[in-house]
């Protein structure tokens, strides 16, 4: 891992990638969803805790279950997207540490509920970032979003309370006609320091 990616790869992952609000009706092959996971799972997390849990909504019936939780601004685009991923975190991720971090018994590190919650949320959010990059890497466009009622999503999809929703991400092949103009970004000097 000593070479820089080619410009085309960097463009696909970052510079030319956009947050999509509309998608074509081209279906998403379920194998691509598996490929996304296969990439995401290699990204680093604290003690390899890997708390991200993903539910892919791919059918109209599954999307209808989500409908009551969506804000008005996210309703139509989510119902029309080929796939909507529910990106959640496992509040009991430490149960899996004997398998995922066999070097030592790391479960006591996360015994305090506040530490477990913070670790689960932080690392699942990190993995959700990997998720977006992985989706772009396999040729899909993404529309990550808030704008939903988390209590309703949790009640409908995670009723036992173990998993908690973080955010949603629509997936598919983006419709360029539905894009907004590109928003500005900070320059290095605006937000970075080298000391």
Domain CATH code at residue 47? 3.40.109.10
Q: Are 59 and 85 in contact (CB under 8 A)?
A: no
Cα separation of 176 and 22, whole Å? 8
- Position 185 scores a pLDDT of 96
Query: Does 189 reside within a domain?
Result: no
**pLDDT, tens digit, 9 for 90 and up, residues 108-161:** 999 999 999 999 999 999 999 999 999 999 999 999 999 999 999 999 999 999
Mean pLDDT calculated for residue range 32-39: 98
**pTM value?**
0.96
* Nearest C-alpha neighbor of 22 from the set 193, 194, 178, 182: 178
Domain holding 142, by residue range, is 27-175
Flag whether pLDDT at 168 surpasses 80: yes
If DSSP codes are grouped into helix, strand and coil, which group holds residue 10?
helix
39 lies in some domain: yes
Q: Does residue 148 lie in a domain region?
A: yes
Burial of 87 (0-12, 13-18, 19+ CB in 10 A): buried
In a domain, residue 98? The reply is yes
- Number of C-beta neighbours around residue 66 at 10 A: 22
Does residue 21 lie in a domain region?
Answer: no
176 within 8 A of 141, measured Cβ to Cβ? no
Cα-based angle 34, 39, 41 (whole degrees, multiple of 5): 95
14 falls within a domain? no
What mean pLDDT comes out for the span 55-74? 97
What are the tokens at 109? 């590190």
Looking at the domain assignment, is residue 190 inside a domain?
no
Provide CB contacts within 8 A for 146, sequence distance 6+. 167, 168
How many domains does one find in the chain? 1
Residue 17 inside a domain? The answer is no
């Amino acid at each position: 891992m000593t070479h820089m990616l080619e410009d085309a790869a960097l463009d696909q992952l970052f510079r030319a990638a956009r947050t999509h609000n509309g998608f074509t009706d081209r279906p998403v092959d379920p194998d691509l969803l598996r490929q996304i996971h296969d990439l995401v799972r290699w990204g680093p997390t604290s003690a390899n805790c890997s708390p991200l849990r993903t539910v892919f909504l791919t059918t109209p019936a599954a999307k209808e279950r989500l409908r009551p939780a969506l804000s008005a601004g996210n309703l139509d685009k989510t119902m029309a997207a080929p796939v909507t991923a529910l990106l959640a975190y496992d509040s009991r991720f430490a149960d899996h540490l004997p398998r995922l971090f066999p070097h030592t018994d790391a479960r006591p590190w996360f015994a305090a509920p506040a530490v477990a919650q913070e670790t689960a949320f932080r690392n699942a959010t990190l993995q959700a970032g990997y998720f977006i990059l992985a989706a772009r890497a396999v040729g899909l466009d993404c529309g990550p979003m808030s704008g939903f009622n988390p209590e309703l999503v949790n009640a409908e999809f995670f009723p036992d309370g173990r998993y908690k929703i973080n955010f949603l991400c629509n997936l598919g092949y983006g419709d360029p006609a539905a894009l907004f103009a590109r928003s500005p970004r900070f320059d290095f000097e605006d937000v970075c320091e080298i000391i």
